[in-house]
Chains A and B, each alone.
Chain A
Amino acid sequence: MSRLLRDPRTVFGLAIVAVVAIAALFAPWLAPFDPSNPDFSAALAPPGATNLLGGDELGRDVLSRIVYGARASLLVGFLSVAGALVLGTALGLSAGYFGGAVDALVMRAMDVLFAFPGILLALGITAALGPSLTNAILAIAVVNLPVFARLARSQALVIRALDFVEAKRALGFGSLDILVRTVLPNAIAPIVVQASLLFASAIITESYLSFLGLGVQPPTPTWGNMLRNAIGFLDTASWMAWFPGIAIFVTVLGFNLLGDGLRDRLDPRA
């Protein structure tokens, strides 16, 4: 753990992630204004004393919206990746461990999903199911499913061939037991690293979906839909476009730094 913290990347990454998480968790206490409350006199107000980061087109405080926006981003990032991780790992480990028909079926299904450019698949799913937070989570989880499945499968293939696993099988341990107690703990490291990197891309995908109007509904702020609103005011109120973009950028950077640091320490292959 302490070795982990010696790497400046991990420290920075952790710091950024911590700040964002705190913003998300304690938003009602941290935000100076109600993010959904329009104040028409402050419409398009530039950054100043009352509105530190300015006001948006309806006079809502940009800073408060950015703080609350962290909630949607983190929620979507976490739940979609967690969902993909759990289901994908289960599928991949089973495919790798059992082989045969299970492997063929699961991996062909994953191939089909993988053949779509991720953005299009997410777009199609949210368009089909309707724009909402839950559907965005679902869509991004489905997009990331094949990644975890493939990773878990290749891990399972390697571990299955190891001696002590063979031994356990010879001793009569059940498959499920072996999978959960032996294969999983040994496979988990690269999966976790992948998760932290996918977290970052999940946040970007969610912001792109919101940017297209397919994400969280108004007036709930997300960084993506704040950018969407800002586009129309690029020449009159450019701060609206800067701050949400910076928020996405910094958050994603934090997760990438963390992921990099984790990978260098946890994944022996690097």
Chain B
Amino acid sequence: MTTTRRRLARIAAAAPALAALARLPGASAQTPRTLAVGIVSDPVTLDPALMASFFEILVQYNVHEPLLHLTPDLKVEPGLASVEIADPVTYRFTLKPNLKFHDGTAIDAAAAKANFDRMLDAATGSPRRGELGPVDAVEVTGPLAFTVKFKAPFAPFLQVLTNRAGMMVSPTALRSLGADFATRAVGAGPFKVASWTKNSELVLERFDGYWRSGLPSVDRVVFRPIADETVRLANLRSGTLQLIDGVPPQSVAQLGREANVSVRQQPGLGFNAFSFNTTRAPFNDARVRRAFVAAFDPDVVQRVVYFNTGAPAYGPIPPSIGWAHDRNFKPSKFDREAARRLLAEAGQSAAVPVTITVTNSPLQVRIAEILQSQANQAGFKVEIRQIDATSLITVLRNRDFDLCMSPWSGRSDPDGNMFNYFTKNGPNNFAGWQSDTVTDLLTKARSVVDLAARAKLYRAAEEAIAAEMPMLFVHFDATIQASSSRLDWTQYADGALRLQFAKLG
């Protein structure tokens, strides 16, 4: 007993020291002007030619610089180069002079051509190949000038160049690093890759040779992948992180009341939707699909799942693409009786069995549960199947579903949100819907350059899609990010972080 008491006394003596430990401020290594960012998941690769998931979106603009820059209101500005449209199939680029990649290689027309060649080469297997459209040739016309020629007019081209397809990487580094390029990527962005510990942190350092002189003002950026949204939020509140992505909608109100953090939301570019499997029963019948849509009340999802952030969706074009979005477009109405009538018309007398497939994201599961409860009251019998995130793509491609979630992160041009989804045999046409009308409309809309004409074509396409409902549109998610109040930064509609403009107060 005396021994125990002595032990306890020793612990009590240590207590003030322990408390002091806890009270000390600050988080990780204290370098001046380090910005710690919490992201949802580790990027898969840092090679822009091979990026194919939305995990890279947050990181990519900090390591790489595209030829053209996208402003927060989705306008195109010169980036590494400026562009002149000679005619609908010819684009002339002039690179800014004396620019270098992170490894000192000069950014010249030859390097740009090397990049394009790599992306367009089928052997690379780059998703950019499809994104770049019908490119005929890339020609070097001077030390800093090159021309891109198309086989047919391709309207989305400039928007595409503000994203991954426009990111230039150092050809020298590609050769010398080989397979390691994916993890050490040498580009022309405001920060260089200092180190990458998978699942722990990606550390970037300021690049002095960045073309916007004076920027970036932050010396170091540390990306920490934290899958759990609550953990990310907790880290922001405690000051361990200064910026986080993927703020859950239910926390927005609470965060607004806190003094040391500021939450920001903006209409996003993507949509949250479910694909009907139109190649087999019961959703091979358009009436059954329309019945399901009529049974669904998107305002409930807007309120209960999204806490009034973002907006309910009725088509693939989000409000942020102002010139193409039609605010009055509401093709479906929540009407349980109409749903039952449609089912009767389609000859369905008993409850129609449907399985909704979602990944185990709590938000998607909630939406599925709402769909289930509402559809069950309108003559369906819904079950929910949860699958793992990496299985989603397989399930979608093999059409192993009745109704499956297929969200899209969004692109700044409506073509990016529609072509792959609604053309016959488009790579994202998981619904298996074959419509010549829509395919024609979308193909035409890519090659017409006049904005008003394009808008009309897209409106027609949306009407045609609404008539047959191959997809159930649920919501246009807002981009919701939060930061420390000391951070001065710019939020973009595509949700990407361009931290060259960030300032730590």
Contacts and interface: CB of A to CB of B under 8 A. Distances in A.
In-complex A–B contact (CB below 8 Å)? yes
A99 to B, nearest CB: 44
Contact of B386 (A38, A217, A235, A236): A217
Interface stretch (B19-27, B101-109, B153-161, B361-369): B361-369
Nearest to A43: B304
Interface in B219-272: 228-230, 233, 248, 250-251, 253-254
B386 A58 contact: no
Contacts of A232: 229-230, 248, 250, 362-363
B300 interface: yes
A46 interface: no
Interface string A214-226: 1001110000000
Among B230, B233, B300, B386, max chain A CB count under 10 A is at: B386
Interface in A202-249: 212-214, 217-219, 228-229, 231-236
A59 B304 contact: yes
A218 B368 contact: yes
Contacts of A38: 369-370, 373
A132 B365 CA distance: 15
A36 to B, nearest CB: 8
Contacts of B305: 57
Given A58-B304, A233-B250, A217 B362 contact: no
B303 interface: yes
Interface string A88-111: 000000000000000000000000
A58 B230 contact: no
B239 to A, nearest CB: 16
Contacts of B386: 131, 213, 217-218
Interface string B300-326: 100111000000000000000000000
Contacts of B460: none
A58 B370 contact: yes
A127 B391 CA distance: 11
Contacts of B384: 217-219
A186 interface: no
A219 B376 CA distance: 13
A229 B304 CA distance: 14
Contact of A218 (B254, B303, B304, B369): B369
Interface string A20-62: 0000000000000000111010011000000000000111000
Given A57-B304, A58-B304, A219 B372 contact: yes
A66 B372 CA distance: 21
Interface in B347-392: 360, 362-363, 365-366, 368-370, 372-373, 384-386, 388
B248 to A, nearest CB: 5
Interface string A118-131: 00000000010001
Contacts of A127: 388
A36 B228 CA distance: 25
Contacts of B369: 38, 58, 218-219
A44 B229 CA distance: 18
B112 to A, nearest CB: 44
Contacts of A228: 362
Contacts of B254: 235-236
A233 B251 CA distance: 8
A139 to B, nearest CB: 15
A46 to B, nearest CB: 14
A226 B503 CA distance: 41
Contacts of A212: 360
Contact of B251 (A40, A43, A57, A236): A236
Given A40-B304, A213-B386, A218-B386, A229 B362 contact: yes
- Name the residue among B229, B254, B366, B384 with the largest chain A CB count within 10 angstroms: B366
Contacts of B230: 231-232, 234
A236 B250 contact: yes
A132 to B, nearest CB: 9
A148 B372 CA distance: 42
B361 to A, nearest CB: 9
B360 A213 contact: yes
Nearest to B305: A57
Contacts of A44: 250
Contacts of A214: 360
Contacts of B300: 40
Q: Which of B251, B253, B372, B373 has the most CB of A within 10 A?
A: B373
Contact of B385 (A217, A231, A235): A217
A235 B251 contact: yes
Nearest to A233: B250
A213 B386 CA distance: 8
A242 B388 CA distance: 27
A233 B372 CA distance: 22
B500 to A, nearest CB: 32
Nearest to B249: A232
Nearest to A213: B360
A212 B305 CA distance: 20
Interface in B28-51: none
Contacts of A217: 384-386
Contacts of A131: 360, 386
A37 B373 contact: yes
Contacts of B250: 44, 57, 232-233, 236
A220 to B, nearest CB: 9
A217 B384 CA distance: 7
A127 B365 CA distance: 18
A58 B366 contact: yes
A219 B368 CA distance: 9
Contacts of B370: 38, 40, 58
A105 B129 CA distance: 56
B471 to A, nearest CB: 22
A221 to B, nearest CB: 11
* Most chain B CB atoms below 10 A, which of A44, A58, A59: A58
Interface string A179-221: 0000000000000000000000000000000001110011100
Max chain A Cβ within 10 angstroms of own Cβ: one of B253, B300, B369: B369
Contact of A57 (B229, B366, B372, B385): B366
9 nearest A-B pairs in the assembled complex, by CB-CB distance: A213-B360, A38-B373, A43-B304, A219-B369, A231-B230, A40-B304, A218-B384, A232-B248, A218-B365
Interface of B: 228-230, 233, 248, 250-251, 253-254, 300, 303-305, 360, 362-363, 365-366, 368-370, 372-373, 384-386, 388
15 contacts: A38-B373, A40-B370, A57-B305, A58-B304, A212-B360, A213-B388, A229-B366, A231-B228, A231-B230, A232-B248, A232-B250, A234-B230, A235-B233, A235-B254, A236-B251
Given A58-B366, A131-B386, A231-B228, 8 more contacts: A36-B373, A37-B373, A40-B304, A57-B304, A57-B366, A236-B250, A236-B251, A236-B253
